[in-house]
């Protein structure tokens, strides 16, 4: 029988295809991406990762006892990731401190928090898996299509390396266990949230590529 995470990926395939076909990834892989455009992503993703920590912490509060250790380890990894952003920003003269979330980044983060607070642990965990799987697949695509050396290699390695792949595999296996015995009706909401998270991931690349802004910048 097909596993739950495979079922999710099958259902969301058109969204994943759109994500992996995004120009931002193609330009990052080919080296054609303007530094300014990459910096847009860097600034917004710094905010995203920083504010994903509360999402993750709310989810951790709902986690079964057996998963607490894994959640603590991931929290440590998120802080290390923020260090990577600060190091890269420093090396490439990108200012991170006064950055505000763009409309897409803001909406995505609100969605994460609403899911963590208002939905079941299974639903929150599905969204976490979707976001991590999106980055694993997006950056693995970049790594596989890379033309020559990239100034962004540490980011590529962060999400396309073995450690991150192992973590996402663990998320998939854990999600499958959480879904065992659930009726197809109970699994319907997580499925929709998985697709929605994929849609936000597409929007995030689109936002980074186009330097989206609020109508009035104050």
Start-to-end Cα distance in the chain: 54
Is residue 94 part of the contact set for ligand MP5 (CB under 6 A)? no
User: Per-residue string for binding with ligand MP5, 26-55, x by CB under 6 A?
Assistant: -------------------x--xx--x---
Is residue 24 part of the contact set for ligand MP5 (CB under 6 A)? no
Task: Kindly state the smallest distance separating residue 208's Cβ from ligand MP5, in Å.
Answer: 9
Is residue 204 part of the contact set for ligand MP5 (CB under 6 A)? yes
Asked whether the beta carbons of 119 and 208 are under 8 A apart, the reply is no
Distance CA 161, CA 172 (A): 17
Distance, CA of 212 to chain centre: 19
**Rounded to whole angstroms, what are the CA distances from 23 to 181, 205, 207?**
40, 8, 12
Task: Kindly state the smallest distance separating residue 197's Cβ from ligand MP5, in Å.
Answer: 9
At residue 89's C-alpha, the angle toward residues 88 and 95, to 5°, is: 175
Is residue 131 part of the contact set for ligand MP5 (CB under 6 A)? yes
Of 4 and 155, the one with the shorter C-beta distance to ligand MP5 is: 155
Is residue 171 part of the contact set for ligand MP5 (CB under 6 A)? no
Task: Kindly state the smallest distance separating residue 127's Cβ from ligand MP5, in Å.
Answer: 11
User: Among residues 78, 107, 156, 195, which is the contact residue for ligand MP5, using CB under 6 A?
Assistant: 78
Using CB atoms within 10 Å of the CB of residue 27, give its burial: 0 to 12 exposed, 13 to 18 middle, 19+ buried.
Answer: middle
Of 65 and 83, the one with the shorter C-beta distance to ligand MP5 is: 83
DSSP 66: G
Q: Which stretch binds ligand MP5 (CB under 6 A): 1-9, 26-34, 113-121, 132-140?
A: 132-140
DSSP 148: S
Instruction: Give the number of other CB atoms < 10 A from CB of residue 131.
Output: 22
Binding site residues, ligand MP5, CB under 6 A:
45, 48-49, 52, 78, 81, 131-132, 134-135, 201, 204
């Amino acid at each position: 029988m097909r596993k739950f995470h495979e079922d999710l990926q099958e259902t969301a395939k058109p969204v994943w295809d759109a994500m992996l076909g995004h120009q931002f990834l193609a330009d990052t892989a080919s080296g054609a991406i303007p530094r300014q455009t990459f910096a847009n992503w860097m600034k917004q993703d710094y905010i995203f990762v920083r504010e994903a920590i509360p999402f993750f912490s709310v989810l951790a509060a709902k986690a079964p006892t057996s998963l607490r250790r894994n959640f603590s380890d991931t929290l440590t990894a998120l802080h290390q990731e923020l260090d990577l952003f600060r190091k890269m920003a420093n090396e490439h003269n990108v200012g991170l401190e006064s950055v505000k979330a763009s409309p897409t980044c803001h909406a995505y983060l609100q969605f994460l928090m609403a899911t963590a607070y208002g939905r079941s642990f299974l639903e929150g965990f599905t969204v976490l898996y979707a976001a991590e799987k999106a980055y694993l697949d997006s950056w693995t695509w970049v790594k596989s299509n890379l033309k020559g050396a990239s100034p962004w290699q540490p980011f590529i390695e962060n999400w396309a390396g073995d450690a991150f792949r192992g973590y996402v595999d663990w998320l998939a296996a854990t999600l499958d266990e959480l879904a065992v015995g659930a009726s197809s009706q109970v699994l319907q909401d997580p499925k929709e949230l998985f697709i929605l998270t994929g849609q936000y991931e597409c929007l995030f690349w689109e936002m980074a590529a186009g330097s989206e802004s609020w109508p009035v910048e104050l």
